[in-house]
Amino acid sequence: MKNSKLIIFTIFIVAMGVGYISLAARVFVPVCYTQDDFFLYHMVTPEALKWTPRISSHWYFVGQTDEGSGLKWNEIVFTNINKNEVGTLVEQLDTWINDYPQRRETMSVSADESNGLPEIRVIHYERDRNK
């Protein structure tokens, strides 16, 4: 009887430890989500990215935190873009960033390729004020 209680207690403690470690490590893994993910969109997405002009019919968000520096960055990634329009769309987003009313916001635009298809990212940077 005592042995079975000890085994169950040990399994419970080990399971709690594994659960805690996996949750703690998940903080530093990029989170991908869409605007349809109600809670993530409203809790994680900065206002600047919510107001970013939608230059494509396909987009998703990425949120990530750097452990040591306290830097947090969120991105809106536009896909399904015509290669001939990339330069024009990047200029349009750069103009929007330069005209954005909250001048204290740090943002940038980058054009990349993923699997041979163009992507445009608007990246919003935020530093932890405690670091």
Distance between CA 50 and CA 15 in Å, rounded? 38
Enumerate domains of the chain plus CATH numbers.
29-127 (3.30.200)
Sign of CA dihedral 89, 95, 100, 104: positive
Q: Which of 6-20, 44-58, 72-86 has the lowest mean pLDDT?
A: 6-20
Residue 78: Cβ-neighbour burial (10 angstroms; 0-12, 13-18, 19+): buried
Distance between CA 73 and CA 49 in Å, rounded? 11
Q: How confident is the model at residue 12 (pLDDT cuts 50, 70, 90)?
A: confident
Find all residues with CB under 8 Å of 106, minimum gap 6, and list them.
124, 125, 126
Q: What percent of the chain has pLDDT over 70?
A: 89
DSSP type of residue 45: S
| Contact (CB, 8 A) for 109 and 72 | no
Please give the mean pLDDT across all residues of the chain.
86
What global pTM score does this model have? Answer: 0.74
Distance between CA 119 and CA 101 in Å, rounded? 26
Task: Give whole-number Cα distances, 18 to 4, 29, 67, 92, in Å.
Answer: 21, 17, 20, 47
Q: How confident is the model at residue 6 (pLDDT cuts 50, 70, 90)?
A: confident
